[in-house]
Amino acid sequence: MRIIILTEYYPHSERGELTGGVEARSFFLSQLLARRHDVTVIASWREGFHREHMVGPVRVIRPGPHHPYTNTGAIRSRLGYARAAYKAAVALGKADVVDACCFIAYLPGYWAARRVGAKAVATYHEVWVGSWIRNKGLITGTLGSLWEHAALRKKWDAFIAVSQATARCLVRAGIDPSKVHVVYNGADLETLAGVPAGLPVPGSICIISRLVRYKRLDTFINALSILRRRHPELYQRTSCNIIGTGSDEAYLKGLAARSDVAEKLVFRGHVERYQTVIRTIKESSLVVHPSSLEGFGIVLVEACACGRPFLASDIEVFREISQALRGGRLFPVGDAHALADELAAFLGGNEIPVGSAETFDWSRLAEKVEEVYRK
pLDDT digits (tens, 9 = 90+) for 230-284: 999 999 999 999 999 988 999 999 999 999 999 999 999 988 888 899 999 999 9
Outline which parts of the chain fall under CATH 3.40.50.2000. Answer: 2-186+360-374, 190-356
What is the pLDDT at residue 61? 98
Write out the H or E segment, with its range, that includes residue 71.
none
Reading phi first (left if > 0) and then psi (alpha if -120 to 50, else beta), residue 62 is in beta
Does residue 60 carry a pLDDT above 90? yes
What distances in angstroms separate CA 180 from CA 3, 174, 183, 210, 354, one per listed residue? 19, 11, 10, 28, 30
**Which distant-in-sequence residues (6+ apart) come within 8 Å of 259 by Cβ?**
221, 222, 224, 225
Q: How confident is the model at residue 13 (pLDDT cuts 50, 70, 90)?
A: confident
Helix (H, G, I), strand (E, B) or coil at 341: helix
Q: Is beta strand 58-61 parallel, antiparallel or unpaired with respect to 52-55?
A: antiparallel
Name which residue leads in pLDDT, 270 or 139: 270
Q: What CATH homologous superfamily does 190-356 map to?
A: Glycogen Phosphorylase B; (3.40.50.2000)
Average pLDDT value for residue range 7-19: 86
Distance (Å, rounded) from C-alpha 98 to C-alpha 3? Answer: 6
Between these two residues, 18 and 212, which has the higher pLDDT value?
A: 212
Distance CA 103, CA 188 (A): 24
Q: What's the pLDDT at 130?
A: 75
The continuous run of DSSP H or E covering 244 comes out as none
- CB-facing half-sphere around the CA of 176: CA atoms within 13 A: 8
* Beta strand spans in the chain (E): 2-6, 38-42, 52-55, 58-61, 97-100, 119-124, 158-161, 180-182, 204-208, 239-243, 265-269, 286-289, 310-313, 329-331
pLDDT at 59 over 90: yes
pLDDT at 101 over 70: yes
Reduced to 3 states (helix: H, G, I; strand: E, B; else coil), residue 178 is helix
Task: Return the CATH superfamily for domain 2-186+360-374.
Answer: Glycogen Phosphorylase B; (3.40.50.2000)
55: helix, coil or strand?
strand
pLDDT-wise least confident of 54-63, 107-116, 150-159, 290-299: 290-299
Q: Report the candidate in 84, 122, 70, 79 with the shortest Cα–Cα distance to residue 101.
A: 122
pLDDT at residue 72 in the model: 65
How does 356-366 read in b/e, with b if 16+ C-beta sit within 10 Å?
ebeebbbeebb
pTM of the model: 0.88
Please say whether the beta carbons of 132 and 120 come within 8 A: no
Average pLDDT over residues 68-92: 89
Looking at the chain, the whole-number percentage of residues with pLDDT higher than 90 is: 83
Identify the weakest region by mean pLDDT among 29-38, 124-133, 365-374: 124-133
